[in-house]
Structures are given as C-alpha cells and as structure tokens.
C-alpha cells in the first residue's frame, strides 16, 4: 500500500484511517482486536481515536476506546506497525476539558497509560479552546514533543481563521505547528471544508483526515426512504439531514458509478474522497469483518476523471468546488 505524508511531519499514513470511536461502544473487545489485526494485515497502519471515546454511553466515563487499543497493542506487540492518533480537549469530567497547558500535560499521561505506549504519533486538539492563548497550548504540545511523548500535533473542528492563526503563532514563536486537520467532510457535507479550509490546508501543507466519511452510513445507500431510516437509531438523524432531493441525487450518482466497477456506493464515496487533492486519509469505522472488507476495497478503487466529475456535479452545493 502506498503511504502518504501527513502534512510536513515525518509520519507516513495509509490513505484511510480506522475510526476508533466504535471500540467499546458498538463492538466489544474481542471483535475490536480481530478488526485491528485485519486492518494491519490488509496493509493499513493508521488508527484514530480520542480520550473522550465513548463517554456518551451510559456507564462510560471516556477512555474506553484507548483502553481497548492499549490492550491490543500490549498483547500483539504491533506498536511499531501503527501510526496512532488520539485527541485531547473534550470534556472528561469536572475540570478536565480544554487546552490549558496543565490539562494537556495531565491528559497526555492518562492517554499514554490507557494506550500502553510511551508515545503518541499524532496528538490532536479535539476542539478549539478560545479561553487559552494559542501560544500556551502549542507551547505545551512542544514540551511533549521534546519529551518524546508526541511526534506530531493536529487540530480538529477548527475554523479556517483559527487554524491560520494557530499556524502563524507556531511559526512566529518557533513552536510545533498543527500538521493535520480533522474536519467534517464527505460527498454531502462539502461546502464548509471546501470554501476556506481546503485551500488553506493545501497552501500551508496541512494534512486532512476528515471524519464522517460515509455521512453516518447514508452514503452506503442503506437509507433511501423514511422506512429505511426507521430501522436503526442512527437512521433517524440521517433522515432529517441527508434524506432529501440532493441526498437522493448523490445516491443515484453513486449507483451509476459503482455499477460498472462492481463496487458499492460506500466504496465509491470513500474513493472519491481519497482522490480529492488535499485529503490525506478519510476516517471510517467498521463493526464487522464484512464492513472492514468494504473499506479495504474502497482504498483500492481508482475512479476515472469522468466518474469524479459526475459525483462532483451531483453533490454540488453552495461553496463546493469541482476539480
């Protein structure tokens, strides 16, 4: 598998990242281990998680995903085959939130313990923290890099002005800069990223590892009516946002491209993102071996220029751009 450089860092990542939000939430430890093994066996190396996963589950406090990954790393000895990414900043209990230097230092040690490793390859700010000066947060990250606890840093959910400001602050103060951005991006959700974030990331050499690559499952084609959406809890919210004239037009285009290729709509949706200039590695999850196989095939799929153009046109929205 051809690896890609992440921003200007020395990290080389597969063109697709495994989203670790499902570990300890929708799949148990044993299945998580099997999927992680299969992910590496298929040639991928990139795994993304966060300290807060999966605090939204009743009885969970956060750290469940990192704990499972840590157990897997310890039992298999595969740490040197993995580019491991996690995040800090989402609420983790009273007083445990944001990007203040003292909390960053506390949170990274907690993540390292759960992950059972001595370093994190990509440590990301999960949210912007307007209450902490950027220089303070970046300075704390710089300490972690010098200590060998972190190799590179990234940002998630930043606006273009704030990301640009963070990059400028890092440059002026000789501090580590954000080498990656994790935004919402897929065939349906295009405009916000493409309007300002994409040109900024391309100009400044920032890697992009977008989340919701399959639009909460909508782009797989399994939700085509309100009746389909009613079959799952996730489908309810999908109906409200995606199940409309534009969404159905996108599904029709995915069907048209997928058919001659012997592919599925979801595979084509991911292949479209991988082919997008500026995208380093979309993030997608799998909760079964069948779903993981779908992701493997998606990363191998090459779309012709006319197929990309058809998908661009079908998914066009205000602010979105074609290639």
| Catalytic residue ranges | 53
Q: Phi and psi (nearest 5°) for 308?
A: -60, -40
Burial of 313 per CB tally in 10 Å (0-12, 13-18, 19+): exposed
Three-class DSSP category at 65:
helix
According to DSSP, the residues that pair with 5 across neighbouring strands are 12
Transcribe 96-109 into DSSP letters.
--S--HHHHHHHHH
Give the whole-angstrom CA distance, residue 256 versus residue 275. 18
Which residues have C-beta within 8 Å of that of residue 323, sequence separation ≥ 6? 276, 277, 308, 309, 312
């Amino acid at each position: 598998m051809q690896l890609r450089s992440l921003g200007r860092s020395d990290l080389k990542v597969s063109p697709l990242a495994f989203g670790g939000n499902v570990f300890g939430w929708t799949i148990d430890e044993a299945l998580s281990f099997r999927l992680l093994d299969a992910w590496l066996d298929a040639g991928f190396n990139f795994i993304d998680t966060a300290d807060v996963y999966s605090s939204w589950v009743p009885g969970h406090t956060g750290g469940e995903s990192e704990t499972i990954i840590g157990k897997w790393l310890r039992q298999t000895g595969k740490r040197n085959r993995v580019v491991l990414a996690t995040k800090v900043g989402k609420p983790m209990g009273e007083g445990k939130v944001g990007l203040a230097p003292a909390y960053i230092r506390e949170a990274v040690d907690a993540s390292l313990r759960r992950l059972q490793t001595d370093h994190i390859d990509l440590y990301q700010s999960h949210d912007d923290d307007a209450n902490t000066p950027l220089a303070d947060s970046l300075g704390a990250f710089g300490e972690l890099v010098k200590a060998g606890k972190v190799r590179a840093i990234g940002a998630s959910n930043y606006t273009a002005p704030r990301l640009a400001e963070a990059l400028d602050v890092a440059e002026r103060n000789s501090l580590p800069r954000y080498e990656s951005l994790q935004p919402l991006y897929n065939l349906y959700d295009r405009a916000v990223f493409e309007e300002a974030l994409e040109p900024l990331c391309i100009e400044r050499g920032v890697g992009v590892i977008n989340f919701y690559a399959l639009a909460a499952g909508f782009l797989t084609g399994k939700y085509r009516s309100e009746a389909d959406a009613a079959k799952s809890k996730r489908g309810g919210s999908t109906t409200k946002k995606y199940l409309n004239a534009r969404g159905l037009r996108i599904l029709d285009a995915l069907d048209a491209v997928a058919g001659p290729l012997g592919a599925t709509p979801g595979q084509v949706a991911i292949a479209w993102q991988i082919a997008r200039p500026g995208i380093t590695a979309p993030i997608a999850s799998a909760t079964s071996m069948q779903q993981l196989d779908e992701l493997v095939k998606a990363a191998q799929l090459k779309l012709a220029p006319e197929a990309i153009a058809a998908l661009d046109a079908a998914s066009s929205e205000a602010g979105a751009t074609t290639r």
